[in-house]
Structures are given as structure tokens and as C-alpha cells.
Amino acid sequence: MKCAELLTSLNEYVDGTVDPAICEEFEQHMAGCNPCQVVVDNIRKTITLYREGRPYRLPVECRQRLHSALRERWAETHLTGGPAPS
Amino acid sequence: MITITKCLRAPLDRGSRAEKCDATGCHSYKQMTNETTIAVTPDVELVGRAKKGDLDAFEALTNRYEQRVYSLALRMLRQEQDAEDVTQQTFLSAMQNLGGFRGDASFSTWLLRIASHAALKVIRKRKGLDTTSLEEATEEEDSYGSIPHPEYIADWRQSPEELVRKNEIQRLLDDALGKLDEKHRMVFLLRDVEGLSVKEAAEALGLSEANTKVRLLRARLQLREELTRTLGDPERRVVRTHQDH
């Protein structure tokens, strides 16, 4: 396996879904290629950083508008024959 | 009349205290108990109740996922008003189509799929494209052949855990994400931030799995490149001695 070929299996390797035979080749390559080792480590850290990042807060006024719109729509669709909203 | 303060200080025998409150005409403790219960109710049960006409159940689902949907929309669209619109459309659409939700996917995955479609429509509108054919704008095939190779390779100075604790990292993450092409950004957000499988992300965006994988790789590599240029330790930079081996 060459550096360029390693890229095509990078997703599966990082996600732990790579075919065992390819995984062995992948790791053999990395054992002798420090740049590829660092790239794989960088990618893992990149994913972790984004995954652990904080979600944006929905502003209070937006949240109020959202819930008002939902209640309004619910009343339109449920008050005419269907179960009444609480 | 028992005050709310007294109700909130209810001892462990919550049931009997709630009855006393009701007996005096105060429903605040009962309401609090209901809210506490609904907050831990599984999605599948809330969905079932909402389908039967329970608005409280649907609002509980909304409370549970509104931040996540808004975050996804804001990261996809990078514009607060559009993100709010997409959030509202997502929950209105979920309400309207709840009857057709069969539970093949989890409720959150189904919701994120609706949000992705709404965000794609905004993107198409921005580009002046027809909003009725989403696939046309997203299904341009990417291939591994054109994937750019990593250039700046270096160990990072700090671990992700240390970086997450710092407030300033969020700006760097957002800026790097903003530099991605929308089609790559959306795949990355669904797969790596929201935790959908490649198959689920592909379905949400109307893409083939193969194309989704290539886009994900591009996104991951580009983000790695951007972040490493800032977070990498120049003294631990690794330079390839040969182009390929």
C-alpha cells in the first residue's frame, strides 16, 4: 500500500469499519510511514474536536416563535375533528 | 393556597404532596412532576403519544431536539435567520408528517433528515436553482482521484480534550468549517457531528453512499489541514522525504 492508496481507506480505518485484510496492509504501511501516522492521528483529533464541540443555543425569542408556530399549527390540524391539544 | 416555593420543597413522598397541592387548588407540583416525567420519557413513547394527539408529547420532543436541529442548520447555512427558518420548518414538517413516521430510523435521524432537506432547499434558493430537484444540485460525483494530499503534517500541541475546554477553539472550528464547500460540509456535519451512519447521511442528502464517502474524506482532510496549520506544533512538523512510497 502506498500513501495515496491509504487515503482511499482512511474513512473506514478511522471509523473502524475497514476490511480486516486492508486494515493489516494499512497498519503495515503506517508502521513505516511517520507522515501517514500523524495524518491519521490528526484526523481522529479533528473529528473528536467537532464531535465534542458545543451546540449553538437557539435564541429565546426564536424558541418562543417556534413553539407558538407549533401550537398554532396543532390547533389548526387537531381542533377540527381530531383529538384536542392539551 | 400552597405556594410554588413550598411545592418545590416537597419531600421525597412526592405523590402525596402532589395530591395535597391539588386538594388546595394548586397544580404547580403536579405540573412539575409531569415535566420531570416527560423529560425522561423515551422518544418512541413520546412519538406514540403525539400521534394520538398529545401536544405536550410533541413539544417535549421539540424541546429535546430544537438545539440540535438549530445547531445543524446554523453550521450548514452560517446565517441565523435561515437557521431559525429551517428549525421552524423542520418541526412543522415533522408535526405534519408524524403519522407517516414508521420508526424504521430513530426519531432524531428522521428529524435530521427533514432538517437537511430544508437546509438544502435554502442553499438551492441562494444559488438561484430550482428547489424541486434537490438531487440535481448535490449528486455531482466526487472521486478519490482528485483528493488533495495532506500538506502540513505535524503533531498537535494539545489534545482535543484540552482544546475543547478553551472557549476560543470554537471560533477556529467554525472558521474551518465555513471554508468547506457546502456539499462537503453537510456530509461532515451529519456523519461526524451528528453521528449518522454513512448510509443515513447519504439518504438524508439524496446521495449515493460512494459519493458520500468521498465527500466525507474531502471534508475530513480539509478540516485536518486547516486545524493542523493552527494547532500543529511547528517543531514536530513532519515533511515527506518522498512524494509516495
What are B33-83's pLDDT values in tens digits?
566 677 788 999 999 999 999 999 999 999 999 999 999 999 999 999 999
**Nearest neighbour of A50 by CB, restricted to B55, B154, B193:** B193
Reported as a single tens digit per residue, the pLDDT across B99-109 is 999 988 899 99
Return d(Cα A49, Cα A47) in angstroms, integer. Answer: 5
More confident residue, B29 or B160: B160
What integer pLDDT is reported at residue B158 of this predicted model? 87
Number of A/B CB contacts below 8 angstroms equals: 145
More confident residue, B227 or A85: B227
Q: Are B120 and B138 in contact (CB under 8 A)?
A: yes
Give A19 to chain B, closest Cα distance, Å. 15
Cα angle: A47, vertex A33, B237; to 5 degrees: 65
> Which residues of chain B form CATH 1.10.10.10?
144-238
Write down the pTM of the prediction.
Answer: 0.81
> A2 vs B163: CB contact, 8 Å cut-off?
no
Can you list the residues of chain A whose pLDDT is less than 50? 82-86
> Which residues of chain B form CATH 1.10.1740.10?
43-138
Over chain B, what is the mean pLDDT?
82
Reported as a single tens digit per residue, the pLDDT across A67-80 is 999 999 999 988 76
Chain A residues 34-53 with a CB less than 8 Å from chain B: 34-35, 38-39, 41-43, 45-53
Reported as a single tens digit per residue, the pLDDT across B169-195 is 888 999 999 999 999 999 999 999 999
**Nearest neighbour of A8 by CB, restricted to B87, B144, B192:** B144
Return d(Cα B153, Cα B194) in angstroms, integer. Answer: 27
**Nearest neighbour of B228 by CB, restricted to A42, A47, A85:** A42
pLDDT at B2 over 60: no
Stretch B7-19: mean pLDDT, rounded?
34
Return d(Cα B170, Cα A74) in angstroms, integer. Answer: 37
Q: How far is CA B215 from CA A7, A26, A66, B54, in A?
A: 13, 21, 33, 40
**Cell numbers at B104, concatenated:** 424504521
Contacts of A71 in chain B (CB under 8 A): 55
> A4 vs B244: CB contact, 8 Å cut-off?
yes
Which residues lie closer than 8 Å to B147 by C-beta, 6 or more apart? A7, B214, B217, B218, B221
CATH, range B144-238:
1.10.10.10
Q: Chain B contact for A3, CB < 8 A?
A: yes
Q: Which CATH architecture has domain B43-138?
A: Orthogonal Bundle (1.10)
Could you tell me where the DSSP H helices lie in B78-152? 80-97, 107-126, 134-138
> A51 vs B74: CB contact, 8 Å cut-off?
no
First to last CA, chain A: 63
Domains of chain A, first to last:
3-78 (1.10.10)
**Strands B232-238 vs B153-156: parallel, antiparallel or unpaired:** antiparallel
Q: Chain A contact for B59, CB < 8 A?
A: yes
Which residue matches cell numbers 479533528? A46
| Minimum CA–CA partner of B88 in chain A | A66
